[in-house]
Amino acid sequence: MTTLRSSSRDLWRAVLGELELQLPRPAFETWLKKTEGVSHDEHQFVVAVPTAFAVTWLERRMYQAIHKAVAKVAQRPLDVQFRVDIGPSSESGPGDSPDVSPGLEPGPSKSPELAQRQGLTRTPFNSRYTFNTFVVGECNRLAYSAAQAVAEAPGEAYNPLFLYSGVGLGKTHLLHAIGHICASRGQSVLYVTSEQFTNHFVSAIRNRTTEDFRSHYRGVQVLLMDDVQFLSGKEQTHEGFFHTFNDLHTSGRQVVITSDRPPSALALLQDRMRSRFEWGLIADIEPPGLETRMAILASKAAQLKISIDDGIIELIAKRVQKNVRDLEGSLNRIAAYLQLMNVDITYESTSRILDSVVSDSARHNIEPENIIEKVAGYYQFDTDALVGRRRTKKISMARQVAMYLLIYELEMSPTQVGRLLGGRDHATVIHGAGKINGEISEDRQLRQDVLAIKEAIFS
């Protein structure tokens, strides 16, 4: 058993081993993996964490589990203190926004004159899209790690790197993050969308400047191509990119490509191009899980310098599930409401704002019977119980939750809801839905139940 005579680092590693067995993997990976034991004495243990926000998160949501694990490993209770590690070896996490990735030190920057002489392409990378602002979870860990490896050694690791995912899940973010690191070291980097590449190629043919076109694209050390799927079916442009890719790859230059689907699913892409995409590493980015969505929102809130209760963060994360862009957009809308209206963000106001985010088409695609099914399933009844005449306390509450969801989510009239739930009159429906609406902000368990049901309905 580890004792206080052990080094702080070793002691903390043993604590992390305990916590890894106890906590959900996404929570451990996001908040604890990059922490480190710094010092300890008879009464206190100091742990270094990447960001100030991580300190707040660990203190609010994980302190009891951490304190218990430390006591077990150290064989005595210790006061655990978290501090932000701002030393040169520290690794940043959610909420930071420097332009250099953890563990990747930039090389000396070059003067504009020297850069121009060496053919450095000066791409305006988005300052918000860095490795340190990319929240990592199980859904994107492979893509993130591969992108970091590419940024550290362009042309050596994973060439080409092919990233694919749905809209708004971080592909472009990782391209810009790679660009930041490589450009900071004085390497020539070019970020281009497939549309920009196509327009440039067509213009080069029209203006007879194909030699300039070749020099522009084949003279870089790192080419970052976004949304390559739009090259499908454009034979001449496809041919131009094929030769550009071959030239760069043969000369050991790095190529990173993104798409909304894997190479095998790019039906209109030529076989020879598809096979080249498969030479390196193919990594997908999946929609984030709940823990990762909450971490993304918490990081974004820290960047916006707004204080939002954990319960509100959880509400947003459960309502907006598929798309990181929509997730951040929802938080931006709530932040604007907070600042412009000068009011507190509550469960009710957040729900109203989020209701406007959910598109009408998405809401209209939900059948009323589906809501009744989900409610009945959550409370472990069959649907007949909700539309029937039994009035046990549990069935009555489940029935009222169904009334609440049908009125507030599908905007059905009380008369329509009453007819659907076994012919109940509209006054009963108004009372039931109003009761849930009134209690949901005060009753934490009820709030959790309704959120879980909504997640099942809209997933």
How much is the pLDDT for 93? 34
Measured between alpha carbons, how far is 345 from 72 in angstroms, rounded to an integer? 39
Q: Tokens for 449?
A: 């139940």
CA-based nearest residue to 23, from 56, 61, 53, 60? 61
Q: Which two tokens stand for residue 159?
A: 């060439």
pLDDT at 154: 92
Q: At 241, list the tokens.
A: 């990119």
pTM equals: 0.55
- Token representation of residue 454: 């909504």
pLDDT computed for residue 114 by the predictor: 35
For the chain, give percent helix, strand, coil, nearest 5. 55, 10, 35
CA distance 214 to 250: 15
Instruction: Give the separation between CA 33 and CA 62, rounded to whole angstroms.
Output: 13
Per residue in 237-279, pLDDT tens?
878 888 888 889 888 899 999 988 888 877 666 677 778 888 8
Q: Give the CA angle between residues 295, 258, 230 to the nearest 5°.
A: 130
Task: Note every long-range contact of 53-57, with CB atoms under 8 Å and residues 24 or more positions apart, other chains counting.
Answer: 53/94, 53/95, 53/298, 53/299, 53/302, 54/82, 54/84, 54/93, 54/94, 54/95, 55/82, 55/83, 55/84, 57/31, 57/298
Which residues of the chain, if any, have pLDDT below 50? Answer: 1-3, 5, 86-122, 359-361
The tally of CA atoms less than 13 A away on the side-chain side of residue 383 is 10
- Continuous segment of H or E residues that includes residue 107: none
pLDDT of res. 176: 94
Torsion of the alpha carbons at 296, 299, 303 and 307, rounded to the nearest 10: 110
- Scanning the structure block, which residue is given the tokens 């550009």? 244
* Residues sharing a CB contact under 8 Å with residue 212, sequence separation 6 or more, in sequence order: 204
Dist CA 12 CA 6 (whole Å): 10
Rounded CA gap, 29 and 195, in Å? 37
Element (H, E) at 220: none
Query: Which one-letter DSSP state was computed for residue 269?
Result: S
Phi, psi for residue 121 in degrees, rounded to 5: -85, 120
The full 3-state SS of 5-64, as one line of letters, equals: CCCHHHHHHHHHHHHHHHCCHHHHHHHCCCCEEEEECCCEEEEEECCHHHHHHHHHHHHH
pLDDT value for 305: 80
Vertex 134: Cα angle to 178 and 230 (nearest 5): 60
Residue pair 231/269 in contact by the 8 Å Cβ criterion: yes
pLDDT in tens, 18-40: 888 788 776 787 788 889 998 88
Name every residue whose Cβ is closer than 8 Å to that of residue 275 and which is 6 or more positions away in sequence. Answer: none
pLDDT recorded at residue 119: 39
